[in-house]
Amino acid sequence: MQATGSADSAHVIGTVDARLYGSFVEHLGRAVYTGIYEPDHPTANANGMRQDVIDLVRELEVPIVRYPGGNFVSAYNWEDGIGPREDRPVRLDLAWHTAESNQVGIHEFADWATAANTEMMLAVNLGSRGLDEARALLEYVNHPGGTHWSDLRRTNGREEPWNVKMWCLGNEMDGPWQIGQKTAEEYGRIAFETAKAMRAFDNSLELVVCGSSTPNMPTYPAWEATVLDYTYDSVDYISLHMYFENHAGDTARYLAQNARLDDYIQTVAGVITYTKAKKRSKKDIYISFDEWNVWYHSKEADKTILEGHDGWPHAPALLEDVYNFEDVLQVGCIINTFIRRCDVVKVACLAQLVNVIAPIMTVPGGPAWRQTTFYPYLYASKFGRGKALRLVVDVPAYATDFAETVPYLDVAAVESDSDGALTFFIVNRHPTETIDLDLSVQGFGERRVVADKVIAGHDLRAVNGPDGQPVEPADGTGVGVTDGRLQGSIAPLSYRMIRLG
């Protein structure tokens, strides 16, 4: 099978915002406790944070991390997580049917973010609380001093404000599972008023209003139209979430799901355009796709806790999906979609980062290890920053019940702004056929392959674990540039990252 086409330096989709490779840490399961924070761990730093986890997060070069939820935030009192640790209350977390010790709060997380070389993106509670809590938290986090909340922060050991720029106005407010779920009208109003108050403090904040929790919501996409009608001129982003599953064990259908993701982005981009026109607005807003991942492997195992049959455990092993080789291909296709839609998706957060549907896993008291999906995320984060190119690739396609044309080869390409390298991210979805790639790269001058990484040849169900990580990248061979054409063979069911210098 052949894939022919071209990459042209003049055909640019847009500049990839580095925050396209963001992630997410929620007070959920073992993401925080025994994930990022484990004071008794041999690698724990002075703040009780696991250095082995920090090292892996730094390796991923995660630009921004959303915190503290997720569903958790919708019944969270942020004040429970400040002040002397021994005075902090234990609370029931109604979202995940667990107990929250509050041993980690905003100070600890901010220190961790600095150590992990990432920025914070904070969410306010618009479920059980509202505008007043949001303005207090904002003052605590971003005001220099001389006021009640900012001086309390200083008393609690942090002199300088953190100056957090990006704020989420609640989480998944359309979802019946959300504490304090709202109708689009109710949410649009409270989000507008909260944004107004937050902007009265600092007009340069970047505010994210909740869009749909999935494209399967009965309220989608009317939700977006109503919420943006209230908030268009007050916010900068509308958030979308989507998770992917292969319960049916149908690989072809599973790997086609980024076609649904593309439709979702396209539809919400349309609602944004419509609302902008309706309001005669000069302003653009973008999508913050601040939760996405594969999530299904652990759902059966989690039922006992989530249905309340296991009491209210503290930091149980929840949502601990163990990813397989097939998920590498899926994550590669999803990230490629975000790169190709970087004109409208500026921020995206892999949900989540540690232990909970995560690329990084930990053993309490033991090692931290890389899941299979660590690698497509790693390569995109490191090498997918710059200009996304509008490729022309002619390759055979297949059909599924939800998409008529799913190309066997999924490709995205980015020309780096820092070193000019041209990186191709490629997934061959074909179950049996090698695809011979032949792409013109003439407009980019003299080029040669400077890196070629491949993940291929594994059983689709092969997984990594604490005792061994068989699903790892290897050096690719046989790909080169001849007479301005990138040529080589892409193995069936494979992930490939090729960098031209």
Binding residues for ligand AHR (CB under 6 A): 26, 69-71, 171-172, 213, 291, 351-352
Nearer to ligand AHR, 301 or 397 (CB): 301
Query: Going by C-beta distance under 8 Å and a sequence separation of 6 or more, which residues neighbour residue 415?
Result: 9, 12, 386, 387, 389, 421, 422, 423, 444
Beta-bridge partners for 24: 66, 351
d(CA 205, CA 418): 27
Which residue, 44 or 94, has its beta carbon nearer to ligand AHR? 94
Looking at the Cβ atoms of 156 and 219, the one nearer to ligand AHR is 219
Beta strands in 318-429 (DSSP E): 345-351, 360-362, 368-370, 386-389, 392-394, 397-398, 406-407, 409-416, 422-428
Q: Is 61 exposed, middle or buried (0-12, 13-18, 19+ CB in 10 A)?
A: middle
Could you confirm whether 291 is annotated as catalytic?
yes
* Smallest distance from ligand AHR to CB 207, Å: 18
> Closest distance between ligand AHR and the C-beta of residue 454, in Å?
30
Beta carbon of residue 73, minimum distance to ligand AHR (angstroms, whole number): 8
Q: Is 262 left (phi over 0), alpha (psi -120 to 50) or beta?
A: alpha
Give the list of residues 6+ apart from residue 278 with CB closer than 8 angstroms, or none.
229
Residue closest to 102 by CA, chosen among 87, 123, 124: 87
Cα three-residue angle 177-179-184, rounded to 5 degrees: 80
- C-alpha pair distances (Å), 241 with each of 216, 384, 462: 11, 21, 27
Q: How far is the CB of 54 from ligand AHR (least distance, A)?
A: 21
Whichever of 291 and 452 has its CB closer to ligand AHR, that residue is 291
- Which residue's CB atom is positioned nearest to ligand AHR? 70
Q: Would you state the structure tokens that stand for residue 317, as one six-digit string?
A: 């092993």
Nearest distance, CB of residue 143 and ligand AHR, angstroms: 28
| Residue of 73, 123, 72 lying closest to 98 (CA atoms) | 72
Catalytically annotated residue among 26, 133, 206, 291: 291
Catalytic site residue from 133, 172, 224, 320: 172
Q: Which is nearer to ligand AHR, 6 or 330 (CB)?
A: 330
Residues annotated catalytic, as ranges:
172, 291
